[in-house]
Amino acid sequence: DHAASVMRDRVFLFDHVGSLSIERLCAVLRWAKAKLQVQHVILDSMTKVVRGDDDYNGQKDFINRMCEVAKETELHLHIVVHTRKPAESVERVPSKWDIKGSSSVTDLAHNVITLWRNRTKEGDPKSDQSAPDQVLDIQKQRNGEFEGKFGLWFDPQSLQFLEHANTFARPYIAPRVEVVA
């Protein structure tokens, strides 16, 4: 209840199960910007809009359309695109070259960020426990100067990812908001 009250009028969910046409998605995005003043949208995932991992032209068209809608509406679109299953090892942080589908996906995107989960550390207590639990890798920034990796260490008590293994979680508990029935 507390989380819902904090997010009220700040977070909106478009709860759609199944695939969605590009036309319908564009209409929803324009509506969300115009009516709700939404600024950031997370689309999970491209595979729910483009049919087939081998539909390279469809993927290119999708990313082109999303770039057009983002420019037109000034929305920040974050599109989840999965990586190929690693041929050699899950221990390697994926690069933008490992993203499934057409190379147009990363060519046309303004930013490419990968997130890698250290499954070796999770499954093997004898592995390097000082290693990060996840790696956030900024691999492309069209209008920025920074590209690089950040290690993230998970703190299970606070459910936060920390910048360093020996840092403390921040108290992000927002003041309680009274819910009037």
φ, ψ of residue 160 to 5 degrees: the values are -115, 150
> pLDDT tens digits for the chain (181 residues)?
877 888 888 899 898 888 899 999 999 999 999 999 999 999 998 999 998 888 999 999 999 999 999 999 999 999 999 998 876 767 788 899 999 989 999 999 999 999 999 988 988 889 888 999 999 999 999 988 899 999 999 999 888 999 998 899 888 666 666 666 5
Measured distance CA(71)–CA(85) in Å, rounded: 32
Residue 107, number of CB atoms within 10 A of its CB:
12
What pTM value is reported for the model? 0.82
pLDDT of residue 19: 86
φ, ψ of residue 69 to 5 degrees: the values are -65, -40
